[in-house]
Structure 1
Amino acid sequence: AQKTDASDRFAALNTAHDTLRDPKLRLRHLIELETGAPPADVHDIPPDTAELFLAVGQLLRPVDAFLTEREAQTSPLLRAQSYPAALDWLEQVNTLLATLNEQLADAEATLQKMNDNWAATELEPVYHQFSYLQKWRAQLNDRALRLGQ
């Protein structure tokens, strides 16, 4: 019983740490505290991130097609011949990742400015912006890792 208690407390502590570390999770928690409900799942893409939505989609489609073809190759020679193209795709992924990271830094700055004077209605759009940006960053990081192999 004591072991289970300690394990539960440890899990709760880890969850709290993750919530404090991640701006999106912090915002979600704050929205739930303020409104009594989690943020809406259905919403419009924030205008600031709409262009990135298109850019990420337009880049991931051909990158995924390239990776599918490349990962299906069993010949080391053919895989080696695909490295120049992989490097070109990797450069494009890294460029878009840099843009996403700038947007995340801007969103973080917006969040910092809201610390002193915020309203619950202003929190949800920022939450959704973080949600999209973090999701796209994770997708691009995954592709960058796969392209580098």
Structure 2
Amino acid sequence: MEDYFALLNVPRRPAVNEEALKEHFLQLSAAAHPDRFHSAPAVERQQANARYAELNAAYNCLKEPKERLLHLYTLESGAKPADIQRIPPGTMDLFVEVGQTCRDVDGFLAERAKTASPLLKVRLFQQGMDWTDRLNALQQKVNGKRAELLAELETLSAAWENAPPPGAPGRAAALPLERLEQIYRVFSYAARWTAQIQERVVQLAI
């Protein structure tokens, strides 16, 4: 498995310096850009295209917390997290609130779609605005949870800085991989919640 951290020359850890990550990516991708090899032999062009694509894949992975944590966990444990649907610790209240709010909005949208009366449409328009405000407030809660986790990743990164080097005995035991997996799952749920919320915000605006 390709180590995207090594490929982009950034420390292998849960948190990354976004500016340094982008700078390294731009430097490496500029050197491998296909336009620099347009007159090179076919083999060199193919190699340049492959490296450029790989650098882009690495950058797109590491810049997103969810994908970065999945990649890091897989590198350190040798396997992807188990495909289970348990609710991560500390997220049950938000899980319930997002689910219930989305169901309530779906009910409102169904009622609005059946309404033909102009007077009722005016009343439902205001209700739609209220639902949009509630969804936006809920999105702020999701964003707040993400911000908490990003701050925790900075703290967790100390374990990677102090652990034995990759491949050394005892490295996995020195790393908080269980917590890393939990945080990855919360980011996964947060991405799903954001998609659900934004989908309904768009539907309310139609």
Aligned-residue Cα RMSD (Å) equals 2.6
CA deviation vs aligned residue, 1:43-86 (integer Å, no higher than 9, x gap): 5212211111100110001212333454x4697x5896332121
The farther-off stretch of 6-15 and 118-127 is: 6-15
Corresponding residue of 1:120: 177
Q: Would the alpha carbon gap of residues 122 and 146 (structure 1) be closer, same or farther in structure 2, given more than 3 Å must change? A: same
Structure 2: runs of 5 or more not aligned: 1-41, 160-174
Bigger radius of gyration among the two: 2
Aligned-residue identity in percent = 40
Q: Check if 1:84 corresponds to 2:126.
A: yes
Q: Give the number of the structure with larger relative contact order, counting CA–CA contacts within 8 Å between residues 6 or more apart.
A: 1
Deviation at 1:13, TM superposition (A): 2.5
Corresponding residue of 2:90: 48
Comparing both structures, which one devotes a greater share of its residues to helix?
1
Structure 1: runs of 5 or more not aligned: none
CA distance in 1, matches of 2:144, 2:184: 16
Corresponding residue of 1:66: 108
Corresponding residue of 2:61: 19
Q: Normalising by structure 2, what TM-score?
A: 0.63
CA distance in 1, matches of 2:90, 2:191: 14
Q: Check if 1:139 corresponds to 2:193.
A: no
SS at match of 2:58: helix
Q: Normalising by structure 1, what TM-score?
A: 0.84
Deviation at 1:102, TM superposition (A): 0.4
How many residue pairs are counted as aligned between the two chains? 148
